[in-house]
Amino acid sequence: MHTSISEILKEKTLKSSRRSLPCLAQSQTHPQNLNHFLSVPLSPEPKTYTHSVSASCTHITPPPTETSQDVYMEEREVGESEPKTDETFLVQQKPVSRAKLEARTDSVQGNNLKTPSGLMFRDGKKRIDYILVYKKSSPQVEKRCTFERNLRAEGLMLEKEPSLTNSDIMFVKIHAPWDTLCKYAEQMNIRMPFRKKCYFTDWKKKTMGSRFQLRFRQLKSWLPRNPMKLDKEALPDLEETDCYTAPFSRARMHHFTINNRETFFSNSTRSRIVHHVLQRTKYEDGKSKMGINRLLGNSTYEAAFPPHEGSYKSRHPIKTHGAQNHRHLLYERWARWGIWYKYQPLDLIRRYFGEKIGLYFAWLGWYTGMLIPAALVGLFVFLYGLFTMDSSQVSKEICEANTTIMCPMCEGNCSSWTLSDSCVYAKVTHLFDNGGTVFFAIFMAIWATVFLEFWKRRRAELTYDWDLIDWEEEEEELRPQFEAKYSRKERVNPISGKPEPFQPFTDKLSRLMVSVSGIFFMISLVLTAVFAVVVFRLIAMEKFASFQWEFVKKNWQFATSGTGVCINFMIIMSLNVVYEKVAYLLTNLEHPRTESEWENSFALKMFLFQFVNLNSSTFYIAFFLGRFAGRPGDYNKLFNRWRMEEAAGSQDLQQQRWMRERNSAGVYKIRNSSSRLLQNWWSRRKMKRAGEQSNSKEELPQWDRDWNLQPMNAHGLVDEYLEMVLQFGFTTIFVAAFPLAPLLALLNNIIEIRLDAYKFVTQWRRPMPARATDIGIWHGILEGIGVVAVITNAFVIAITSDYIPRFVYAFKYGPCVDKGYRHEKCLRGYLNNSLSVFDMGEYKNGSYHPWYCRYRDYRAPPWSPEPYEFTLQFWHVLAARLAFIIVFEHLVFGIKTFIAHMIPDMPKDLCDRMRREKYLMQEMMYEAELEHLQKERKKNGKRYHHEWP
């Protein structure tokens, strides 16, 4: 039995859920009763169009005596940007001066923000939705003229304007009229508001009663205000009503709330529609000769971008005069460094830059917030190691071992050394390798799972608030390159039922195999570079250990490891330039179907290249360094020349992680910021000079200012995500060897958020707003990193650190074996127990003079029946290490799986709200259609009733 809307309205109205999708600034005029019908035909707007004067291309046929080749020239064209079937387009007005246009103020997107100058056509009425830039000296005149003529045929309006800062630059301003917007909004299945959302059902709050809610609000008002939240007064533009949305349809236009055609489609939606047309408009005859991307590639156009909404700065303070535009509001409430501690205005970010960029900043903010508990726990583990550094039994024994002679670390001029020389090194090692290491490794594995699971819930809330629940990947358009390549082979799309280009399986498989072969080749190149660094370390070890300078000779381990890290880092930075080009080439070779598939494929390749490049040397130090060195008297040598390097516990790994993380973060910041800042500074300098020469600095239009900004990265958000995902790997993988990694990542991300915000708002041209429901392939990569982190941390604790040997000694060989307690004193004698003896004696004057040195291993002494063979303790330690790896992995994976199943991907109240809204939408669509048909019958004088006709 269906419940009518009129009966539903009798329910007690509850507080509505906030939806970020704007309903229109005229939402105050929306009917409060849902039965009020919105399908009353709108009065046709008076179509008063100006005498549009624009520069376009005219085809001139040469005389027979001249060359038969067509000639294209630029001339002033009058009134061809509108369809000629409507007489109202011929209404002429006087040209409006630029000074008058700058003085005009109007409503933008239904808010009280002022209209920035330079965002309208010369008539002051038509909004600029997109900007094309080309050089007058470009030889591609024919392609450009054909392309612009086809754009007009699609219904777009064009107007040209020369640049005030460069005489060779011409701007093509594009405006999408109402009919064109409606046509392509229907083709693109753009969801638009059709009815005001007056309520939603939250049964928990309803059953708890209003008295408790009132008391809770009073208690909350007494509490101090959260300083991280943005004031509602600071973002007045976001205080809008909520609406139900549905795919736009011209046949059902009476369902949608259209009070103002100028503000019905937002700026970002208009830009997306124009971009869709630009991607599929031909510039020559032939299916492959289409799209703005190809025209940008062959230098027909220099750039294509949607304009910014004015300047991001204002002469007047925002507190007293308000924001001039959305860009100014974003700068004041998001991009400034002074509000680094504030929450991000995600709704405003999404509205200005699109859902895809909004999801990136939402994920980055969520990741940064989740780093706080991980950083605190890691800091506590580090402080625990700091406070127990002097009381550590192992460190004490190392510092007091003045008589313990260690075997030489190299051959030739190397001499023996005392164990007490590594006293500082041992204390520093204890800061990271102490009793809290195992706990922290387990905690970080669980933290990674909790972070990803709660991000799924956060993403579900955002997709609901941003009206992306019903947006499917099948609605994404095909890439123009894919359409051009496989236009001759079509098949019916099983989702839409329409024919579309199709890539055969054999062709796809062959291209994929070539791409995979290229990936393996690049990975082998990385491994070759790592091997070269290993050889360098062996040579450097021998040189530093026999150095004449006593300071270098004493700290040869640190010098060898430090120089190895620096050399490896320079190789990494050099290979990064090659990786990007190879990944771009291999991805284009695959011919992905959609833009999201292209981006996912490119992102996966870049991640694999960068991950192997950054972590291959770390894996070598953690799991291979010193494992094949041999023993004194029987050392293994590389190429029978250089002696293999011995392991130094976890010191090398800690140094590697510290230097790698700090250097990588610093280089990324410098590379991503300095070049853009310098380029924009030079562009502003040229603009200033041009303004001084033309005395029109204040009149510089917005499109000219945007042209002098730098374009966004060619790969979209891949570089931004890649930097953060690699940092996530630094934070979780090998975290047992470096507990301060989450704290460093937290400090880095606080800077990263504002740095990225500053780039997007001030340094980059406005990117094309794109839609997305999640972060793409990066979520799967993060889950893979979480699995790798559990395995690597288990091996680091079991193999690289001294935790297992100390554990075995305390329970099996130490002084507390027969006692019922385990304490630091139980490790007395551990150092002597973990060092083996080697006889370096020699014959002098016919007699043998024994001389013993020590080395790290579990081998029998030279005077035993089986000298230098592994002892029983070695096999006990090896068995304990293998057992620890198995128990640790099963325990942590079990906890991760349990937590993943316990935390649902979508909150229950959100599921109930979505089901309730789906039911109400069906009811409203039914009643709206019924009322529309009844009014049509009444208008035609026919009998009508309340049942479905």
pLDDT at 175 over 70: yes
Average predicted confidence (pLDDT) for the chain: 75
- According to DSSP, residue 477 is labeled P
Give, in degrees to the nearest 5, the angle at Cα 412 between 410 and 413: 95
pLDDT of residue 943: 55
Residue 299, phi-psi category: left (phi > 0), alpha (psi -120 to 50), beta (remainder) = left
pLDDT band at 629 (very low <50, low <70, confident <90, very high): confident
pLDDT at 19 over 60: no
pLDDT band at 104 (very low <50, low <70, confident <90, very high): very low
Q: Which among 103, 111, 165, 117 has a CA at the least distance from the CA of 307? A: 117
pLDDT of residue 554: 62
Q: What is the pLDDT of residues 843-885, one digit of tens each?
A: 556 666 678 888 888 888 888 888 888 899 999 999 999 999 9
- According to DSSP, residue 306 is labeled P
Beta bridge partners of 594: 478
Span 266-287, average pLDDT: 86
Token representation of residue 158: 């064009």
Under 8 Å between Cβ of 796 and 895: no
Q: Could you please report the per-residue DSSP string of 574-634?
A: HHHHHHHHHHHHHHHHH--SBHHHHHHHHHHHHHHHHHHHHHHHHHHHHHTTTTT-EETTE
Q: Which among 53, 55, 183, 189 has a CA at the least distance from the CA of 126? A: 53
pLDDT of residue 749: 92
Higher confidence at residue 198 or residue 834? 834
Under 8 Å between Cβ of 165 and 708: yes
Higher confidence at residue 822 or residue 631? 631
Which residues lie below 8 Å from residue 939, measured CB to CB, with a gap of 6+?
none
pLDDT at 646 over 70: no
Under 8 Å between Cβ of 766 and 308: yes
pLDDT of residue 170: 92
Q: Which string of b and e fits 99-126 if b means at least 16 CB within 10 Å? A: eebeeeeeebbbbebbbbbbbbbbbebb
| CA atoms in the 13 A half-sphere facing the CB of 52 | 25
pLDDT band at 379 (very low <50, low <70, confident <90, very high): very high
Kindly report the number of other CB atoms within 10 A of residue 734's CB atom: 28
Q: What is the pLDDT of residues 53-92, one digit of tens each?
A: 344 465 443 444 443 333 344 434 333 334 333 332 223 3
For the CA atoms of the chain, what is the radius of gyration?
35
Q: Which among 494, 513, 473 has a CA at the least distance from the CA of 594? A: 473
pLDDT at 202 over 60: no
pLDDT band at 149 (very low <50, low <70, confident <90, very high): very high
Give, in degrees to the nearest 5, the angle at Cα 386 between 382 and 389: 130
Higher confidence at residue 252 or residue 660? 252
Give, in degrees to the nearest 5, the angle at Cα 334 between 778 and 129: 80
pLDDT of residue 307: 92
pLDDT at 363 over 80: yes
Q: What is the pLDDT of residues 203-242, one digit of tens each?
A: 444 444 556 666 766 676 676 777 777 766 667 656 554 6
pLDDT of residue 15: 36
Query: How far is it, in rounded angstroms, from Cα 253 to Cα 242?
Result: 19
Q: What is the pLDDT of residues 797-818, one digit of tens each?
A: 888 888 888 888 888 888 887 7
H/E/C letters for each residue in 824-853? HHHHCCHHHHHEEEEECCEEECCEEECCEE
For the chain, what percent of residues have pLDDT higher than 90?
17
Token representation of residue 556: 């040869």
Q: Could you please report the per-residue DSSP string of 854-878?
A: EEES-B--TTSSSTTPBPHHHHHHH
Instruction: Look up tokens 């035993």; give the residue.
Output: 864
pLDDT band at 158 (very low <50, low <70, confident <90, very high): very high
Q: Which among 747, 754, 593, 572 has a CA at the least distance from the CA of 656? A: 572
pLDDT at 545 over 70: no
pLDDT at 474 over 70: no
Query: How far is it, in rounded angstroms, from Cα 214 to Cα 211?
Result: 5
Under 8 Å between Cβ of 452 and 783: yes
pLDDT of residue 370: 93
Under 8 Å between Cβ of 578 and 593: no
